[in-house]
Amino acid sequence: MLDIKFVKENPELVKENIRKKFKEDKLPLVDEVIALYDEKMVALKRAEELRANRNKLSKSIGMLMGQGKREEAEEVKKQVNAQADELKALEERETALSAELKEKMMKIPNIIDPSVPIGKNDEENVEVEQFGPQTKVDFEIPYHTDIMAYFKGIDKEAAGRVAGEGFYYLMGDIARLHSAVTAYARDFMIDKGFTYCIPPFMIRSEVVTGVMSFEEMEAMMYKIEGEDLFLIGTSEHSMIGKFINTLTPDTELPMTLTSYSPCFRKEKGAHGIEERGIYRIHQFEKQEMVVICKPEESMDWFHKMWSYSVELFRSMDIPVRTLECCSGDLADLKVKSYDVEAWSPRLQKYFEVCSCSNLGDAQARRLGIRVKGSDGKKYFAHTLNNTVVAPPRMLIAFLENNLVMENGAYRVKIPVALRPYMGGKEYIG
């Protein structure tokens, strides 16, 4: 969420930013929030005048009563009562204006970084760099769930009977591989200096609207019926929420955290749920990284964070590339975002496995995450997040890139970095 004073002072800049994101339907919001802010300030000023006048009149009532001027005192009391009614109406109006102003402000997109390429949607995202040679094999690579089924590692049919489409049972060595990747990713981030955390898997609506846009909330979040609680779509939500309404000395920044959680998503929208595979599902597990830092440090952290994902995937012999999200593909709160994509030798193309985002002070402003500088001044922190690894998609990339065929049978090679987490196994199969 932007600062309303910034919007009022730079309306054309804010409108141009909206155009760059190809969200022209949000252009009227700029003039609307300025009008609401001006009306609110008029109400505030009048309320302050009435409070000052009430204090002055209240003192005069005591003086008049002391002088025996009862009738004059009663007339002044009438004035105080009349102004009290006006003040009450103004305070109610101010509350209503503040709520409407906040709701509209939360719909205005954050200002994107000047380096972000301009484009309408993800088809116009820009490749930054490739890491590792693309895997080539001399045999046909099966669909990822067929690979899992070959090793008796997945049961979607039973999951469908139990929970419906978008769920699965992982079994045996495939389930163990899933847990091994998560444990390895956890230790990988701890070795980078991040603090490990297991957060709440449910959060209140105040946190939900603080960490994401209304559009994302509707498309992703599951609401707990009868309670002010939502299942998290990613641990980033509860990790950033951990700092709601806090004031942190700048000497304690940056705060770097890596968290494990299950994730729950509606996956409502154009992509939907793939019936056969596990690329888009309702429930999965993920290792996440979040950083809360000073504004001047956020871009340095952004580049460190996506590079950690590249390093992690390359350590498991998976070729990847980084893709910069264009303006039209950025969610409203994001300043800049990179996708890390893994190579699929079966499809001969890359697909998304991680998403690294710098959100500037948008989440901090919504949630009240402030920093106190050494000079005593207070300001909003910057927040960043990145997927360390999400095993469903990671498993697809891992299995395709580490699948080998020997004597007509499939085996999955276990990279050296992952072997301690697989009981020393060099292969599955």
pLDDT digits (tens, 9 = 90+) for 371-424: 999 999 999 999 999 999 998 899 999 999 999 999 999 999 999 999 999 999
11 has pLDDT over 80: yes
Give the up-direction half-sphere exposure of residue 353: CA atoms within 13 A in the CB hemisphere: 31
Round to whole Å and give the CA distance between 228 and 335: 29
DSSP-based three-state secondary structure for 392: helix
pLDDT digits (tens, 9 = 90+) for 284-313: 999 999 999 999 999 999 999 999 999 999
Give the pLDDT of residue 384: 98
* The model's pTM: 0.89
Q: Where are the domains of the chain?
A: 4-105, 122-428
Query: Which CATH number does 4-105 carry?
Result: 1.10.287.40
- Joined tokens for residue 50: 């009435």
Q: Who contacts 350 (Cβ-Cβ below 8 Å, separation ≥6)?
A: 320, 321, 323, 341, 342, 343, 344
Q: Average pLDDT of 263-290?
A: 78
Answer positive or negative: Cα dihedral of 289, 292, 293, 296: positive
In the chain, what is the greatest distance between 2 CA atoms, to the nearest angstrom?
113
Query: Which CATH number does 122-428 carry?
Result: 3.30.930.10
Q: Average pLDDT of 8-31?
A: 97
CA 140 to chain centre: 38
Mean pLDDT of the chain: 92
Answer positive or negative: Cα dihedral of 134, 140, 143, 145: negative
pLDDT digits (tens, 9 = 90+) for 321-342: 999 999 999 999 999 999 999 9
SS3 percent helix, strand, coil of the chain, rounded to 5, is: 50, 20, 30
Q: What is the DSSP letter of 111?
A: P
Return left, alpha or beta for 294; rule: phi > 0 is left, psi -120 to 50 is alpha, else beta.
beta
pLDDT digits (tens, 9 = 90+) for 202-224: 999 999 999 988 778 888 899 99
Q: What is the DSSP letter of 119?
A: -
